[in-house]
């Protein structure tokens, strides 16, 4: 298969040259040898003909290369992208002790470990309290997560982030995820609080919007008490789940389980046409090398 099949018409040029080399009757020189037997000279003429045919073969290889030979490559597997947005609570209650540190520190450490499980996905980070702040945009380079730990810690008492408004923050991160047309969408909510903007059936409406946009929400309830029913509804209606880790070990296991529940899909690609130069390039180099050797002695000379 060729990308420029019309170029093959120029193969008539080397073909004409071959016909001229093997059909011509000129160029013969008689060398007298006293007492020698008369021979046909077919062997020498054959060697000379082969040597003079090599430029035509080189020209033929060049024409084929200019015609851009192609072949079908084997189909490649492609890992399906998942856009994962973390929504982390930085209200004052996240300063409560959890393991060796506080709830915020334990959450961020578990998130950093989770990033290693999901190489090839895109990650974004949003902090929230009464307001929300998109700290890291969706990116396949998670290095910014490693540096985010000290800046937005609740111990800094950042103005406007002392309370908890989950509904507002979820809708804000929804806009980030829906801006990505490619890949699956996942939202991981980490909180220890309760939000009044989820009451009165508000969580049902938010969950419907998330489900309609193809966003799966997982909630990590990082406190001693079980998650409130509104948060459970919010997660499960989108196809996600709520987790209630009791210590740092179980918190790490939560993220491992989320990874297992949302394994990346492998998409089968289609066979594509790729350039197929190698065999013709090898043939051309071989003919060129042989022609150079021929020029050292196997060529026609009229003297």
What integer pLDDT is reported at residue 22 of this predicted model? Answer: 79
Spell out where the chain has E strands.
70-72, 77-79, 82-89, 97-98, 101-102, 122-128, 132-139, 184-191, 215-221, 242-243, 266-268, 273-275
Sorting pLDDT into bands at 50, 70 and 90, what band is 63?
confident
What integer pLDDT is reported at residue 288 of this predicted model? Answer: 87
Check whether residue 197 and residue 68 sit in a common domain. Answer: no
Q: Which CATH number does the domain housing residue 204 bear?
A: 3.40.50.410
CB of 176 closer than 8 Å to CB of 124: yes
pLDDT digits (tens, 9 = 90+) for 23-58: 876 555 555 555 555 555 666 677 777 778 888 888
What integer pLDDT is reported at residue 171 of this predicted model? Answer: 93
**Region 284-298: what's the mean pLDDT?**
81
Check whether residue 157 and residue 233 sit in a common domain. Answer: yes
Check whether residue 66 and residue 106 sit in a common domain. Answer: no
Distance from C-alpha of 207 to C-alpha of 218, rounded to nearest angstrom? 12
Residue 197: inside a domain: yes
CA geometry: angle 199, 201, 206, nearest 5 deg: 95
Domain of 290, in residue numbers: 5-73+272-294
CA 62 and chain centroid, separation: 35
The total number of structural domains that make up the chain? 2
Other beta carbons less than 10 A from residue 298's beta carbon = 15
CA geometry: angle 228, 232, 238, nearest 5 deg: 155
Check whether residue 110 and residue 259 sit in a common domain. Answer: yes
Check whether residue 83 and residue 227 sit in a common domain. Answer: yes
**Region 246-269: what's the mean pLDDT?**
75
Check whether residue 139 and residue 51 sit in a common domain. Answer: no
pTM over 0.75: no
List, in order, residues 6 or more apart from 170 with CB less than 8 Å away: 87, 187, 189, 206, 210, 217, 234
pLDDT digits (tens, 9 = 90+) for 150-206: 778 888 878 878 888 999 999 999 999 998 878 789 999 999 877 888 888 899 999
Check whether residue 23 and residue 120 sit in a common domain. Answer: no
Check whether residue 89 and residue 51 sit in a common domain. Answer: no
Check whether residue 37 and residue 118 sit in a common domain. Answer: no
Other beta carbons less than 10 A from residue 143's beta carbon = 9
Share of the chain above pLDDT 90, in %: 21
Phi, psi of 44 (to 5 degrees): -65, -45
Check whether residue 35 and residue 109 sit in a common domain. Answer: no
Distance from C-alpha of 239 to C-alpha of 218, rounded to nearest angstrom? 9
Check whether residue 167 and residue 113 sit in a common domain. Answer: yes
């Amino acid at each position: 298969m060729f990308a420029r099949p019309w170029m093959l018409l120029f193969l008539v040029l080397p073909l004409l040259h071959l016909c001229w080399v093997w059909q011509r009757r000129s160029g013969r020189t008689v060398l007298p040898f006293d007492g020698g037997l008369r021979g046909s000279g077919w062997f020498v003429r054959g060697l000379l003909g082969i040597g003079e045919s090599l430029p035509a073969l080189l020209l033929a290889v060049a024409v084929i290369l200019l015609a851009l030979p192609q072949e079908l490559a084997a189909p490649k597997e492609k890992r399906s992208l998942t856009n994962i947005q973390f929504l982390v609570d930085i209200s004052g209650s996240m300063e409560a002790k959890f393991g060796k540190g506080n709830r915020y520190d334990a959450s961020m450490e578990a998130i950093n470990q989770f990033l290693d499980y999901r190489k090839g996905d895109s990650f974004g980070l949003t902090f929230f309290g009464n307001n929300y702040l998109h700290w890291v945009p969706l990116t396949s380079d998670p290095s910014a997560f490693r540096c985010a730990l000290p800046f937005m810690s609740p111990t800094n008492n950042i103005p406007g982030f002392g309370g908890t408004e989950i509904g507002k923050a979820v809708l804000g991160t929804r806009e980030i995820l829906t801006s990505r047309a490619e890949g699956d969408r996942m939202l991981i909510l980490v909180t220890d609080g309760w939000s009044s903007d989820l009451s009165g059936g508000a969580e049902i409406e938010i969950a419907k919007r998330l489900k309609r946009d193809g966003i799966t929400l997982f909630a990590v309830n990082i406190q001693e008490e079980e998650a409130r029913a509104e948060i459970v509804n919010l997660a499960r209606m989108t196809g996600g789940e709520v987790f209630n880790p009791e210590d740092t070990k179980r918190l790490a296991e939560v993220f491992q389980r989320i990874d297992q529940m949302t394994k990346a899909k492998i998409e089968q690609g289609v066979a594509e046409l790729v350039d197929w130069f190698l065999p013709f390039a090898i043939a051309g180099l071989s003919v060129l090398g042989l022609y150079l050797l021929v020029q050292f002695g196997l060529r026609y000379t009229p003297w």
